[in-house]
Amino acid sequence: MAARGTGNAARGGLLGRDRELEVLTAMVDRLAAGTGGALVVRGEAGVGKSALLSAAAVRAAESGIRLLSAVGVQSEANLPFAGLHQLLRPVLDLAQRLPARQRAALLSAFGMSEAGSPELFLIGLAALEVISDAAAAAPVLMLADDAQWFDEPSRAVLAFVARRLAAGPAALLVAVRDGIAPPCDGAGLPELRLAGLDASAAATLLDSRVPGLDPLVRSRLLAEAAGNPLALVEFSAAVRAGQPDESPLLPARLPLTARLERTFAARDAGCPPLPAQCCWPRPPTTATR
């Protein structure tokens, strides 16, 4: 058996994620066999939640499973049913098969009918029926990434749907950031908590991105990132760009690339702060941008 941190190269290129990939593979395989369900993947920013969802999507596509996906964005967090619309849009034509009240409720939620203010319960029933009808043709895997940015009505409907998926060939996989209640909070769904990479996998990832680093630079990067894949990739890129001679005399605070700055900005704008053991230092309030 390959050592942890290397065996995943043949299974989607994810280092150090053997256990997590096994959980998602088992979920997808059960779905292909006709058994659905839901799972919440939780972890801090940059720890690799989206990469795991992508690996599940690849496995599902190889198994002939239909994919429905939605990605939360902060700009739509206050738009009612924006997340649900993104998720169901490819199968909305199936709404024509719904009972009249359910069809009117769902289409009204999306601004596609004049039914007035729809009942949330009817919208949930309608969404569940549309998903069930889609799954009757082929198993369906729904992916909800960055779900901390989903609007509240979409979150409520997803929680309703998630608790009713076990009986059929439809499954929901939700990725949410630590410190934030997931869309299905309180629904009693299983969670897969995603921690940072172990020391071996973190070192392998860093060496694959920037081979031949000065030992002191390498040690500093590994310590600063504390196993966070995004921090490893972005901090190493920033150091190489700013110090082509790979000098071991690193600045007191490693530079932030635009990608990490966006992560911090999004977190500070609307997300509760991460625990004190956050895997990289928060930028100073007067960060140079």
DSSP 144: E
In the numeric block, the tokens 């608790």 are attached to 163
Q: Where are the domains of the chain?
A: 7-193, 199-270
Question: What is the mean pLDDT of the segment spanning 149-157?
Answer: 94
Higher per-residue confidence, 101 vs 3: 101
Of 25-39, 83-97, 122-136, 264-278, which range is least confident?
A: 264-278
Structure tokens at 122: 């009817």
Provide the pLDDT for residue 259: 64
Question: What is the mean pLDDT of the segment spanning 67-84?
Answer: 94
Provide the pLDDT for residue 264: 56
Of 5-14, 105-114, 126-135, which range is least confident?
A: 5-14
Question: What is the mean pLDDT of the segment spanning 148-157?
Answer: 94
CB 66 within 8 A of CB 36: no
The yes-or-no verdict on residue 111 having pLDDT over 50 is: yes
Per-residue pLDDT reduced to its tens digit, 199-222: 999 999 998 888 888 888 888 889
Phi, psi dihedral angles at 142 (to 5 degrees): -100, 130
In the numeric block, the tokens 């997803």 are attached to 158
Provide the pLDDT for residue 272: 40
Q: What single string gives the DSSP state of each residue in 54-78?
A: HHHHHHHHHTT-EEEEEE--GGGTT
The yes-or-no verdict on residue 83 having pLDDT over 90 is: yes
Phi-psi region of 14 (alpha: psi -120 to 50; beta: other; left: phi over 0): beta
Q: What single string gives the DSSP state of each residue in 16-42?
A: T-HHHHHHHHHHHHHHHTT--EEEEEE
Structure tokens at 63: 């198994």
DSSP 270: H
Provide the pLDDT for residue 266: 55
Q: What is the pTM of this model?
A: 0.79
The yes-or-no verdict on residue 245 having pLDDT over 70 is: no
The yes-or-no verdict on residue 262 having pLDDT over 70 is: no
Provide the pLDDT for residue 158: 94
Mean pLDDT of the chain: 81
Give the C-alpha separation, 232 to 208, whole Å: 11
Provide the pLDDT for residue 182: 55
Provide the pLDDT for residue 185: 59
Name which CATH class applies to 7-193: alpha beta
Burial of 10 (0-12, 13-18, 19+ CB in 10 A): exposed
Provide the pLDDT for residue 1: 30
Contacts by 252-256 with C-beta closer than 8 Å and gap 24+?
253/281, 253/284, 254/220, 254/221, 254/224, 254/280, 254/281, 256/283, 256/287
If DSSP states are collapsed to H, E and C, what string results for 196-251? CCCHHHHHHHHHHHCCCCCHHHHHHHHHHHCCCHHHHHHHHHHHHHHCCCCCCCCC
